[in-house]
Amino acid sequence: MTLTADFRQDLEAIGLKTVTYKHNLSKEELFHEAIRNDRGRTRQGGPSTDQKAFPTKLGVKGPLVYYTDPDCTGRRVKDTYSVAWPEVVDQIWWKADMQQYDPAKYQGLLQRVLDHLNQKKATLYVKDVFVGADPEFAIPYRFVGEYATHAMFAHNMFPKDLKGVRDVEKRRWTMINAPSFTCVPERDGCRAEAAIVIDVKNRICLVAGRADYCGVVKKTIFTVGNFLLPLEGRLSMHCSANVGPKGDAAVLFGLSGTGKTTLSADPARRLIGDDETIWSDNGLCNLEDGCYAKLIDLNKDAEPVIWEALMKPGTIVENVPAPKGKTLADVTPHEFDLTDKSITENTRFSYPLSANPNVMPNSRGPHPQTIVLLTADAFGVLPPIAILDAKEVMYHFVSGFTAKLAGTEVGVTEPQAAFSACFGAPFMAHKPSVYAQLLAAKMQQHKARCILLNTGWSGGGYGTGKRISIKDTRMLLDAALRGDLDAGKVEYVTHPVFNLKVPKACPGVDPKILDPRNTWTDKAAYDAAASKLRDLFRKNFQDKKFAELGIQPVM
């Protein structure tokens, strides 16, 4: 595709002067470019000249297989920053995974990255896409980077050729992605040899150094959206969303392992998106045009859509090794050992949203009638379902509770509480109350109900009790979506420890499990475990100083 003068001028204005561009190549072209040209480190202690991208036996008719730097098999959360410009320093929620970057240091780093690319006369792959499927507020996003794989990922994951977007050139964000650069912490003001820096003032996302995990291309601009959209009264959410046969939309928030993707993939409901959604005055809309799914331990019967998408052309398989004794060129994707964690447990797969068989047109839907806050309580003490009022919604939303299981991390010998505000704290650029207040206001305006749905344990904690069956969870969720648990339709009891409103009955579900204390043999042990978890909620609330942000305690 021929570049326009405006395109060259835009990138020259940033400082790219002696580089070569490959602009908006097709996925087939990017597939071949990645295999031919993407080079970098793929082994600890290895050279920076390793081939990064490979075909399978299917060639261009199958997926591209890509390997990241061994130090970047996931997001580099400790190396993610935003420039602390005076104009925005008071607006951003500074935390461990969004640290301040000194403006002077940043300007020096950016210039060194641009000089590096100019001096090596780099070939840069450019992909123009949008963040958000609604042209009324979609953010123009231009990826400019050294790896064709990343440009192909941007093509998979974001809307293209969206008509009717206003002020595209004035509102465009640009990612400069230079994995061949090496940061020097003492000189550049960062922590390590790589840094991911968001520059709100100049609409630039800088990826400098070995931060070549594909998710960086997505999550960095998602964080930008989380900053820009709430300023316009639009709620950006880390959640899945779908629509029922009666046009009843639902939003499902949840951290990893709580069932967000599984429960939203309902054959009776049409998918809006599985990870990132916007709630605006126009209703719900997907931020993306693709899916970025975990592959570890993928079961073809439980996740048939992902399993089938593995074979499709134009998709990207990340950090899955070839089966032992074979080369990638000798295998088809269905021969991969998806239990193989030898590179990382965070093996991933990027594929277009269209690979799903039941998707809403234009990835958009109506205002939601039901908000679901998912948790997987490994302590076994929260009720499987509870109905939340407005104050409770804000409290549990900013708490963002789930539990880590024993054995999942070194040193974790019993369940541990995990709190992530708004069910996605690392990506939330504003303080949690900004999103909580928007959620509460939109729920009130559109009369949406909210439930807390526990997909964790019952009859005891992890190792003693049993996980609540997926059948019961789906029965509870379906009843809530139908409105069967709305006020006036069932009787409720108030949980004495958590102060949660719990239905006494639900169609198709044994009423015994609705009160978690009933499922424990040792009632005193339940009371002690419940009180312990309540105290952890209270401590998190105090430690995060949520009261100072206008959130009211409810337990």
Q: Which residues contact 543 (CB under 8 A, 6 or more apart)?
A: none
* 256 a catalytic residue: yes
- For 216: left if phi > 0, alpha if psi spans -120 to 50, otherwise beta; the answer is alpha
* 534 a catalytic residue: no
Helix (H) or strand (E) holding 119, with range, is helix 103-119
**Cα distances (Å, whole numbers) of residue 478 to 255, 392, 474, 475:** 20, 21, 6, 5
The 3-state secondary structure of 380-413, one letter per residue: CCCCCEEECCHHHHHHHHHHCEEEECCCCCCCCC
Q: Which of 22, 105, 219, 431 is catalytic?
A: 219
Q: Which of 275, 340, 377, 472 is catalytic?
A: 275
The owner of tokens 């969303």 is 241
Q: Which of 22, 23, 127, 260 is catalytic?
A: 260
* 334 a catalytic residue: no
Quote the crossing angle between the two packed helices 148-157 and 27-37, to the nearest 10°: 150
Q: Which of 22, 127, 155, 238 is catalytic?
A: 238
Amino acid present at 486 = D
* 327 a catalytic residue: no
Contact 439, 238 (CB under 8 A): no
Report the alpha-carbon distance of residue 125 to residue 137 in Å, rounded: 26
Report the alpha-carbon distance of residue 358 to residue 353 in Å, rounded: 10
- For 14: left if phi > 0, alpha if psi spans -120 to 50, otherwise beta; the answer is alpha
Q: Which of 261, 277, 315, 519 is catalytic?
A: 261
Q: Which of 75, 203, 364, 449 is catalytic?
A: 75
Report the alpha-carbon distance of residue 269 to residue 257 in Å, rounded: 21
* 538 a catalytic residue: no
Name which of 87, 367, 116 is nearest 231 in CA terms. 87
What beta strand segments (E) does 287-412 contain?
Answer: 290-294, 316-318, 348-352, 364-365, 368-375, 385-387, 401-404
Report the alpha-carbon distance of residue 382 to residue 214 in Å, rounded: 36
Q: What share of the chain is helix, strand, coil (3-state, %, to 5)?
A: 30, 25, 45
Q: Which of 256, 332, 339, 464 is catalytic?
A: 256
Report the alpha-carbon distance of residue 340 to residue 343 in Å, rounded: 8
* 123 a catalytic residue: no
* 238 a catalytic residue: yes
* 155 a catalytic residue: no
Quote the crossing angle between the two packed helices 215-231 and 432-446, to the nearest 10°: 60
Amino acid present at 66 = Y
Q: Which of 22, 23, 155, 348 is catalytic?
A: 348
Q: Which residues are catalytic?
A: 75, 219, 238, 256, 260-261, 275, 348
